[in-house]
Amino acid sequence: MFDFQRKNQFDFGVVSAADDRDIEVQKLKVESRQGLWLESMRLVRDIILIIAVFILFGVFIAQPVVVEGTSMLPELHDGERLLVNKLVYYKIDSVSWGHLDRGDIVVFWYPKDPEKSYVKRIIGLPGEEVEIINGRILINGRELKESYLDTEHNQTLPTIPARRVEEHHYFVMGDNRDNSSDSRYWGLVPEKYIYGKAFFRYWKPSNIGFLEHGEYNLPPEQKMNNIRADSEESEE
Amino acid found at 180: S
Contacts of 105 (CB under 8 A, 6+ apart): 72, 75, 76, 119, 120, 121, 122, 197, 198, 211, 213
Nearest CA to 130 out of 120, 143, 117 is that of: 143
120 as an active site residue: the answer is: yes
Task: Give 117's strand partners.
Answer: 109
Nearest CA to 77 out of 85, 69, 86 is that of: 69
Question: 32, 91, 96, 120: which is the annotated catalytic residue?
Answer: 120
- What is the C-alpha to C-alpha distance for residues 26 and 227, in angstroms, rounded to an integer? 81
- What is the C-alpha to C-alpha distance for residues 71 and 116, in angstroms, rounded to an integer? 15
- What is the C-alpha to C-alpha distance for residues 206 and 216, in angstroms, rounded to an integer? 27
Q: Tell me the three state secondary structure of residue 6.
A: helix
Question: 27, 29, 40, 71: which is the annotated catalytic residue?
Answer: 71
Helix (H) or strand (E) run with residue 199 in it? strand 194-203
**What is the sign of the dihedral through the CA atoms of 30, 36, 42 and 44?**
negative
Catalytic residues: 71, 120
